[in-house]
Amino acid sequence: MEDQQIATLLTSSAQFTPIPGFKITYGTAGFRANASVLSSTVFCAGILAALRSLKTGKMVGLMITASHNPIDDNGVKIADPSGGMMAQTWEPFADALVGFQSPEELVQLVLEFTKKEKISFGGPKSAVILLGRDTRPSGKSLLECAKRGIASIIGAVAINMGILTTPQLHWMVRCRNKDINASEYDYFKQLSKSFMSLVGLNPLKETTSSKPNSTLLIDAANGVGGEKLHEVKKSLMGIELQVRNSGKEGILNDGVGADFVQKEKVAPQGFGPSDVGMRCVSLDGDADRFVYFRVISTDSNKIDLIDGDKILSLFALFIKAQLNILQKMDDKGAGDQFVTRIGVVQTAYANGASTDYLRQLGLEVAFTPTGVKYLHEKAAEYDIGIYFEANGHGTILFSDTFLSMIEARVNEPMFSSTGSEYERAILRLVAVTQLINQAVGDALSGLLLVEAILQYMGWSIETWSKLYRDLPSRQLKIKVADRTAVITANAETQVVKPFGLQKMIDSETAKYTKGRCFIRPSGTEDVIRVYAEASTQEAVDTLAQSVGQIVGDILG
Q: Name the residues that contact ligand G16, by CB under 6 A.
A: 28-29, 67-68, 284, 288-289, 370-372, 389, 391, 393, 522-525, 529
Residue 449 to residue 84: CA distance in whole angstroms: 20
Q: How far is the CB of 500 from ligand G16 (least distance, A)?
A: 24
Q: How far is the CB of 351 from ligand G16 (least distance, A)?
A: 15
Q: Can you tell me whether residue 372 is helix, strand or coil?
A: helix
Active-site residue 67, yes or no? Answer: yes
Distances (CA, A) of 63 to 49, 66, 142: 10, 9, 10
Q: Which listed residue (13, 67, 282, 354) is catalytic?
A: 67
Q: How far is the CB of 189 from ligand G16 (least distance, A)?
A: 26
Angle between the N-to-C axes of helices 308-329 and 352-360, in degrees from 0 to 180, rounded to the nearest 10: 0
Q: How far is the CB of 389 from ligand G16 (least distance, A)?
A: 5
Structural contact between residues 99 and 40, judged by C-beta atoms closer than 8 angstroms: no
Q: Which residues contact residue 173 at a Cβ distance below 8 angstroms, ignoring those fewer than 6 apart?
A: 59, 60, 61, 79, 80, 81, 83, 130, 439
- The 3-class SS string of 52-106 reads HHHHHCCCEEEEECCCCCCCCEEEEEEECCCCCECCHHHHHHHHHHHCCCCHHHH
Q: Which residues contact residue 77 at a Cβ distance below 8 angstroms, ignoring those fewer than 6 apart?
A: 29, 30, 31, 45, 62, 63, 65, 85, 86, 166
Q: How far is the CB of 121 from ligand G16 (least distance, A)?
A: 32
Angle between the N-to-C axes of helices 308-329 and 421-435, in degrees from 0 to 180, rounded to the nearest 10: 150
Q: Closest Cα partner for 226 from 134, 132, 158?
A: 134
Per-residue exposure over 498-524, b if at least 16 CB sit within 10 Å of its own CB, e if not: eeebbebbeebbeebeebbbbbbbebb
First to last CA, the chain: 52
Q: Is the CB of 149 or the CB of 225 nearer to ligand G16?
A: 225
Q: How far is the CB of 522 from ligand G16 (least distance, A)?
A: 3
Q: Closest Cα partner for 326 from 314, 311, 336, 315?
A: 336
Q: How far is the CB of 284 from ligand G16 (least distance, A)?
A: 5
Residue 343 to residue 486: CA distance in whole angstroms: 31
Q: Strand ranges (DSSP E) for 347-405?
A: 364-367, 384-388, 394-398
* DSSP line for 145-203: HHHHHHHTSTT-EEEEEEE--HHHHHHHHHHHTTT----HHHHHHHHHHHHHHHHHTSP
393's torsion region: left (phi>0), alpha (psi -120 to 50) or beta?
Answer: beta
Q: Is the CB of 376 or the CB of 428 nearer to ligand G16?
A: 376
Binding residues for substrate: 389-391, 520-524, 529
Binding residues for Mg(2+): 67, 284, 286, 288
Q: Which residues pair with 158 in a beta bridge?
A: 129
Structural contact between residues 143 and 113, judged by C-beta atoms closer than 8 angstroms: no
Q: How far is the CB of 39 from ligand G16 (least distance, A)?
A: 21
Residue 533 to residue 86: CA distance in whole angstroms: 33
Structural contact between residues 338 and 330, judged by C-beta atoms closer than 8 angstroms: yes
Q: Is the CB of 74 or the CB of 194 nearer to ligand G16?
A: 74
Residue 329 to residue 337: CA distance in whole angstroms: 9
Q: How far is the CB of 289 from ligand G16 (least distance, A)?
A: 5
Per-residue exposure over 358-389, b if at least 16 CB sit within 10 Å of its own CB, e if not: beeeebebbbbbbbbbbbbbbbbebbbbbbbb
Active site residues: 67
